[in-house]
Amino acid sequence: MRFRSRQLRVQILLLSLALLQPLIVLGQSFPGHAVTLICPWPPGGGADAQMRVLAETTGRYLGQKVIIENRPGAVGTVGAASLANARPDGYTLSQLTNAVFRQPFIVKTSFDPEKDFTYIIGISGYSFGLVVRADSPWNTLQDFLDYAKANPGKVTFGTFGLGSPPHTVMDRVAARHGIQWLHVPYKGTSEDLAALQGGHITASADGTGWGPFVDSGKFRLLATFGEKRLARWPNAPTLKELGYGIAEVSPWGVAGPKSMDAEVARKLHDAFKKGMEDPVFLKILDNLAQEPMYLSGSDYRKYALEAIPEQKAIVEKYNLKQQ
């Protein structure tokens, strides 16, 4: 009887080792070919540009190419939805932003940010601001708000999606002043800014992809949404210093599907960390008035778990849930 029991334990141990062996081999051999990094924004914008540079710099340290695949839409959460159905082999990754933590409370999504991702690394954070065309009559935020207040329903502003951080900021500003304006959501910053440039919307509340337009004199920056003024545009006040008590940025990072092998996740983390520290990537961050915001995989997951209830509260407070 003791012999049979010992024999059974040995068989279970051998079976466990057999099941574990493919994972060990995967970790040791990874990466064997190119890795796909989903950019959940359209080509041509600031988000796309920095992700392409990050893919290039990371590939140098990973030993394989990192290929960008654009999948825009749903406020930048199409990539997250793709991860929920991808194999956890390390070859399919996506950028995640705070919209991924907020969107499940706005509409039904195919992913759960608490359960469906392997958080690999935190990279940076988007800064936001409100811009108008330079030929508009508004030189300050107060000028713009006074006009919007006096002309209900006539002012339109674009963002990169319903429930995006700039959208909720603009809703909070409107609620304070009793303003009625129209939000026009786009798939990404490039589409939003093209609409403003073409005169199809009155203003744009978006990420710093508008920087080149401000620098060239085509757009006028009325206010930024962060904790402090952006060094690149020191004359533009923040909403916080104007008395609104609002400070909004959107950290972003890279994640894979759930249940990824720990060694694969580690190799990806190490390559992306070197990629984000590369001078070429740091330069494009500087051009977009962004800074590195490194988080390890465990710290990024911790950040996500803290952000999820915060985003739920925002959705409930501003009645963003779609029926």
- Give pLDDT tens digits for 42-72: 998 889 999 999 999 999 999 999 999 999 9
Helices 262-277 & 46-62 angle (0-180, nearest 10):
120
Residue bearing tokens 């939000």: 183
Query: Which pLDDT belongs to residue 321?
Result: 85
Where along the chain do its domains lie?
Answer: 31-126+250-317, 128-244
Query: Which pLDDT belongs to residue 24?
Result: 46
**Are the C-beta atoms of 133 and 199 separated by less than 8 Å?**
yes
- Token pair listed for 189: 């910053």
Confidence of residue 28 (pLDDT cuts 50, 70, 90): confident
Closest alpha carbon to 123 in 248, 311, 310, 278 = 278
Q: What is the pLDDT of residues 140-176, one digit of tens each?
A: 999 999 999 999 999 999 999 888 889 989 999 999 9
Query: Which pLDDT belongs to residue 3?
Result: 46
C-alpha 85/C-alpha 109 separation (Å) is 12
- Token pair listed for 241: 């210093």
Q: Under CATH, to which class is 31-126+250-317 assigned? A: alpha beta
Which CATH code fits 128-244? 3.40.190.10
- Token pair listed for 295: 């988080």
Q: What is the pLDDT of residues 116-150, one digit of tens each?
A: 999 999 999 999 999 999 999 999 999 999 999 99
Degrees, nearest 5: CA angle 60-64-66? 80
Domains 31-126+250-317 and 128-244 share a fold: yes
For the chain, the average pLDDT equals 91
Residue type at position 67: I
- Token pair listed for 133: 């065309």
Q: What is the pLDDT of residues 67-105, one digit of tens each?
A: 999 999 999 999 999 999 999 999 999 999 999 999 999
User: In a 10 Å sphere around its CB, with 0-12 CB exposed, 13-18 middle and 19+ buried, how is residue 143 labelled?
Assistant: middle
